[in-house]
Amino acid sequence: MDHLSSDLLRTFLAVAEAGSVTEGAARVYRSQSAVSLQVRKLEDILGRPVFDRHGRGVVLTEAGERLLPVARDITRKLDATLRELTSDDLHGKLRLGIPDDQTKDRLSRIVAGFAQSHPLVDLDVTCALSAGFPDALASGALDIAIFEVATPGPGADILQEERTCWMVSRHHDLLSRDPLPVALFDRDCWWRDAALDALAAAGRPFRIVYSSQSVSGVAAAIEAGIAIGLLGASGMTEDLRRLAPEEGFGDMPVSNLVLGVRPGATTPPIHAMRTAIRRAFGAG
């Protein structure tokens, strides 16, 4: 006999709260096709659709609206039970730095899970552009941080590697413009330096028309057709396309997401957070 599993309900909630299958899939760390299959299975069990598809997103049907509060209540109770059964007496203070980019949602959920399992640990979380995190670790301002580098140092704890690439809106012809409109970060960041170096090497006139402190800001400008810009490959959407070498945009550097710890720091909260982050990224 079919039944409503908590896994199906969590997938349903992720899509409902995100407003799209793509964003919902990112929230539960699954592929879009896997999430679509789960939604289809849920709808088969219920015998009716829970979402109406429109454009790039979804909206709840009448059945979806009725299921939503039930799904929230069930998953909330399950989470509370897990927290009660698995929480420990680990205590202390932990100062954590997480980057303000595409990984923020994933890391925020890691932090939430850590707080549930270790409720006696006081968390002080800094969410910002990660370029300043290495100095903050070195000075003792942060205990543990996740940040991006072009070239990892010896023994670096690498969580994820991602190729950066030039992207442009599929719906706007920006390459014919002279000078070429470009969106960049507005702070000291190796992504900005790499972009400027590549543009200079191409010898094509360009103009910085948009600056942002975050990846999401640059991505929004590109999707809006304001400018081209440098993004990680995971930032690709159906409204964007990657600029090709024959268009004057060759391979760009790989971005390495690394996990750094304050020098000499060996406290139990730091060890626990490091373990949680590495597991979430499949790094151990």
- 30-61 pLDDT, tens digit per residue, is 888 889 999 999 999 999 999 998 877 899 99
Neighbours of 164 (CB within 10 A): 22
Is residue 92 predicted with pLDDT exceeding 90? no
pLDDT digits (tens, 9 = 90+) for 207-226: 999 998 778 889 999 999 99
**Architecture of the domain whose range is 6-86:** Orthogonal Bundle (1.10)
Above pLDDT 90, what percent of the chain? 51
Q: Is 112 helix (H, G, I), strand (E, B) or coil?
A: helix
**Cβ atoms of residues 207 and 184 within 8 Å:** no
Q: pLDDT tier at 88 (50, 70, 90 boundaries)?
A: low
Residue 191 tokens, joined: 């992504």
Residues of the chain with CATH 1.10.10.10: 6-86
* Mean of all residue pLDDT scores within the chain: 88
Is residue 1 predicted with pLDDT exceeding 70? no
CA 203 to chain centre: 33
Residues of the chain with CATH 3.40.190.10: 92-160+257-280, 163-252
d(CA 52, CA 62) in angstroms, rounded, equals 10
Domain 163-252 has what CATH class?
A: alpha beta
**Architecture of the domain whose range is 92-160+257-280:** 3-Layer(aba) Sandwich (3.40)
Is residue 64 predicted with pLDDT exceeding 70? yes
Please tell me the pTM assigned to this model.
Answer: 0.64
C-alpha distance from residue 241 to each of 30, 111, 146, 217, 222 (Å): 22, 33, 28, 17, 10
